Amino acid sequence: MFSRYRTPAVSAPSRSAVGRRVRTVLPAGLATVVLVTGCSGFGGGGEGGGASDYPSRPVTFSVGSEPGSGWDATARAIVESMEREELTDTNISVQNQPGAVGCVLLNRMVTEYEGEEHQIAMTSTPLFSNELRGQCDHGYEDVTMIARLLIENFLVAVPANSPYADLTALLEAVKADPQSVPVGASGDDQLPFALLVQAAGGDPAQINFIEFESGGEYLTAMLNGDVAASVSGVTEYGPQIEAGELKGLGVLRDERLEAPLDQIPTAVELGYDVAISNWRGVYGPPGMPEQAVTYWQEELEELLGTASWQEIAERNQWETSYLTGEEYAEFLDSEHAQIEEALQSIGATG
């Protein structure tokens, strides 16, 4: 069992130099944590002058999933806000490169774009979990982590006409006959549901997970009856819950979400001491020139304070939490250790 993981307070921007890496120890208890973005190689080498020389051509902002996913929504929100706030006059195109929950994109960044300064990408927990599960050859130490931007909460959803009236009914059905309850989740989304089943006294290794590449595919699968339930971020299922197409059974945080999703109970209040959240951030290829890293850290820091970003964050119930520098490097090491121990507890490491 894992210790309760409390989401840290919103971080004040840090411009400290990166490099020192500190290993922290996972406390004992129940549901762990996710909020990160990171890597050694911050501000990698490369030639060039100051940040004023960058960018010299259009930037490609890659997303390792299909349109409609949380990664996709975040990347497009960043570009939209930067344009609305006139923070850049450079063309930034969002490019979807789906495959293996971000691993296809990660491999390309490592093997094809090393040292490239006009390639950035969106990432989150799969940067850890894919490698730890043995599903990807690369991880956070192989790329240039630029900044953590936000924290998003997980929720469990079912179709509006589901026979499962509440989270307890769903978890009891999974305990009794796991194969009869297909659950849509992939990558980092599997961990929170596995911890719920574990907290309910079931065997996480027996869960019948069905994997897709994007939130849109999960939504279709639920509405078609191909999966009985799914777990994902609020961004992906919140609009469908508001529209009455889906029903939220539980949110994995200590307190309820704000309206209009405040009717969804927390797993904690239902008796399952599981509070786990996801993070999203931006990374670049290995050896990304320092001027490019500095440019994006400064632009993203400014972006998160704008009215347009705050409007988008409030609409999606994102918790802005910016982090760079030495604190970020330490945070990544700590989170990697926590994810590894969590996955080991449910028998999910490679």
Is the pLDDT confidence value at 181 over 60? yes
Per-residue pLDDT, 11: 39
Interstrand relation of 119-123 and 246-251 (parallel, antiparallel or unpaired):
unpaired
pTM: 0.74
pLDDT tens-digit series, residues 113-165: 999 999 999 998 888 888 888 889 999 999 999 999 998 899 999 999 999 99
Average pLDDT over every residue of 303-312:
94
- Burial pattern 86-100, b for ≥16 Cβ within 10 A else e, equals ebeeeebebebbbeb
Per-residue pLDDT, 44: 36
Pick the CATH number of 51-152+279-345 from 3.40.50.1820, 3.40.190.150, 3.20.20.60, 3.40.50.1220: 3.40.190.150
Q: Crossing angle for the helix pair 70-84 and 234-242, nearest 10 degrees?
A: 90
Average pLDDT over every residue of 266-280:
92
Per-residue pLDDT, 179: 96
Per-residue pLDDT, 214: 63
pLDDT tens-digit series, residues 205-255: 899 999 876 667 778 899 899 999 999 888 888 889 999 999 999 999 999
| Fold matches, 51-152+279-345 and 153-251 | yes
Break the chain into its structural domains and give their ranges. Answer: 51-152+279-345, 153-251
Per-residue pLDDT, 337: 86
Average pLDDT over every residue of 40-63:
64
Q: Which helix (H) or strand (E) holds 344?
A: helix 325-345
What is the C-alpha to C-alpha distance for residues 27 and 175, in angstroms, rounded to an integer?
A: 27
The share of the chain scoring above pLDDT 90, in percent, equals 55
Which of 241, 198, 195, 336 has its CA nearest to residue 279? 336
Pick the CATH number of 153-251 from 3.40.50.720, 3.30.390.10, 3.40.190.10, 3.40.50.12780: 3.40.190.10
pLDDT band at 70 (very low <50, low <70, confident <90, very high): confident
What is the C-alpha to C-alpha distance for residues 107 and 100, in angstroms, rounded to an integer?
A: 10
Mean pLDDT over the full length of the chain: 83
pLDDT tens-digit series, residues 84-126: 999 988 999 999 999 888 899 999 999 999 999 999 999 988 8
What is the C-alpha to C-alpha distance for residues 36 and 129, in angstroms, rounded to an integer?
A: 12
